[in-house]
Structure 1
Amino acid sequence: MDYLALFVLGCILGSFYNVLIYRLPRGKSIVKPPSHCPACGSKIRWYDNIPLISYIVLRGRCRSCSASISIRYPLVELSSGLLAILSYAKWGFSFEALVMFVFFSLLLVLSLIDWDTFLLPDSLNLGGLAFGLITSLFRTDFSFLDSLAGALVGAVPFFLIYTFYVKVRKMEGLGFGDVKLMAFIGSVTGIWGVLYAVLLGSIFGLLYALPIIFKNRNLSFAVPYGPFLSLGCFVGTVFHEHLRVIFLP
């Protein structure tokens, strides 16, 4: 029952995450207007807005205009539900579990926004950084100094890379949002989280990019780095005990 309750709660929050993903980069209010179909503008009734279930009942289409509803919506809800279960299973009923669930949720939202728009909103990045620093004061597995050190180790190298590309090469090698994202990641997971984000994130990014490179036979394409940094940190944090043996045998 604990897992079921957490899954339901996570799915409900996932429905809100969909609102953030769609509205934040467009500069729209996340409070009003109420949820509506982007195709016809019809208000979505509460019984058509039940996480996962409504999508299945409506067969992925708007009740009013029959426009297709992106599969992403139920997938985000499902992901949020699974993140709630994962956080509880790994960290138990604890403050740390709550922190990690919020952390993973923010990474999910930031990743999808970055994937769509190549933007990482300051409201989430800097809000996440503040969240990491403040919650470190109350965690038993992590200190404020760990949080501060992680934020600096995450942000400073990326800031130097960003500055080099902008000042020397007159182009953006990476976005300044990635600098803030790394500070956020480090504030919650410390230096290890930063290392996982960079190392594993680079591997995941390369695996994604290689087929595109071979297909197009050139390097003239842009890939958002945020989703891969987030995925690398997520995998490293969840499997830290196993991966640490690899890096420190």
Structure 2
Amino acid sequence: MFEYVLLFVIGSVLGSFYNVLIYRIPRGMSIIRPGSSCPKCGSSIKFYDNIPIISYLILRGRCRYCGEKISLRYPVVEFLSGALACLSYYKWGATFEAFVYFVFFSLLLILSFIDWQTFTLPDSLTLGGLAFGLITSFFRHDLRFPESLLGSLLGGGLFLAIYLFYVKVRKMEGLGFGDVKLMAFIGSVGGPWAVIFSVSLGSILGLLYAIPIILKHRSFDFVIPYGPFLSLGAFLGLVFKDYLLSIF
């Protein structure tokens, strides 16, 4: 129990940093300086007001100085990051693979929130993640470099073909080029199976989300980010891989 508590604390602290990335990277801001401050009044956030999850609850989700409402995203990301740390340890133990998957899931978490808010997937994270996946495959036991390379080519190549079809044939952008790089990243860490899970489960989840919107507005004229659903599909597929493969 102590190990899981410690991992959750470490994960939630990292989640606090993930919130910095989610807010600053799309805005082109430095992720190091200046320190955290209230977006409305500019007051610096003291260390005791920056304790993951706890500070949000104590402050009741508002800035101590101006009372501006603090987005619920902050404690949610911190909680999810702590949960991912525990999950990675529970499923893969104290192994290098657990570290790889925790980093992988963390990047997917960050990318999902950025994409949901801005409809962008920063190259620094997708291409950085792709390099991470390919490099770490040399040291893993569950996925070798050829599988990592194949996964990245399959994921990136499939979505590149879809992207080019929409742009060249239908003269419209059916999906963003960031999704191409995201799928290459997913394939580099999870291999071909991760690509399959990401596309299949992600499409189902995206459809389930879109159906109520379609029924409510009786129109297909709306846009939703695809990245969060692809990421969630990859996450669910890799965590429940053995169970899903046993079904099919």
TM-score (norm 1): 0.98
Alignment match, 2:163: 162
Amino acid at match of 2:53: L
Alignment match, 2:113: 112
Tell me by how many angstroms 1:164 deviates.
1.0
Amino acid at match of 2:162: I
Tell me by how many angstroms 1:170 deviates.
1.3
Tell me by how many angstroms 1:118 deviates.
0.5
1:147-199 superposed Cα distances (whole Å, 9 cap, x missing partner): 00000110111101101111111110000000000000000000000000000
Residues 28-177 of structure 1 aligned to structure 2 (within 5 Å): 28-177=29-178
Q: What is the CA–CA distance in structure 1 between the aligned matches of 2:20 and 2:186, rounded to whole Å? A: 23
1:233 aligns with 2:227: no
Q: What is the CA–CA distance in structure 1 between the aligned matches of 2:57 and 2:38, rounded to whole Å? A: 16
Q: What is the CA–CA distance in structure 2 between the aligned matches of 1:212 and 1:195, rounded to whole Å? A: 26
Alignment match, 1:216: 217
Amino acid at match of 1:72: R
Amino acid at match of 1:53: I
Q: What is the CA–CA distance in structure 1 between the aligned matches of 2:159 and 2:56, rounded to whole Å? A: 40
Structure 1's unaligned 5+ residue stretches are none
Tell me by how many angstroms 1:206 deviates.
0.2
Amino acid at match of 2:171: K
Q: What is the CA–CA distance in structure 2 between the aligned matches of 1:241 and 1:14, rounded to whole Å? A: 28
Alignment match, 1:186: 187
Tell me by how many angstroms 1:87 deviates.
0.1
Query: Counterpart of 1:68 in 2: which secondary structure?
Result: coil
Structure 2's unaligned 5+ residue stretches are none
Tell me by how many angstroms 1:39 deviates.
1.1
Runs of 4+ aligned residues of structure 1 deviating over 3 Å after TM superposition are: none
Tell me by how many angstroms 1:246 deviates.
2.0
Tell me by how many angstroms 1:245 deviates.
1.3
Amino acid at match of 1:3: Y
Q: What is the CA–CA distance in structure 1 between the aligned matches of 2:72 and 2:119, rounded to whole Å? A: 21
Query: Counterpart of 1:193 in 2: which secondary structure?
Result: helix
Amino acid at match of 2:193: W
Amino acid at match of 2:36: S
TM-score (norm 2): 0.99
Q: What is the CA–CA distance in structure 1 between the aligned matches of 2:184 and 2:247, rounded to whole Å? A: 25
Identity %: 68
Size of the alignment, in residue pairs? Answer: 247
Q: What is the CA–CA distance in structure 2 between the aligned matches of 1:56 and 1:133, rounded to whole Å? A: 40
Amino acid at match of 1:25: P
Q: What is the CA–CA distance in structure 2 between the aligned matches of 1:139 and 1:109, rounded to whole Å? A: 24
Q: What is the CA–CA distance in structure 2 between the aligned matches of 1:139 and 1:154, rounded to whole Å? A: 20
Amino acid at match of 2:99: L
Tell me by how many angstroms 1:22 deviates.
0.5
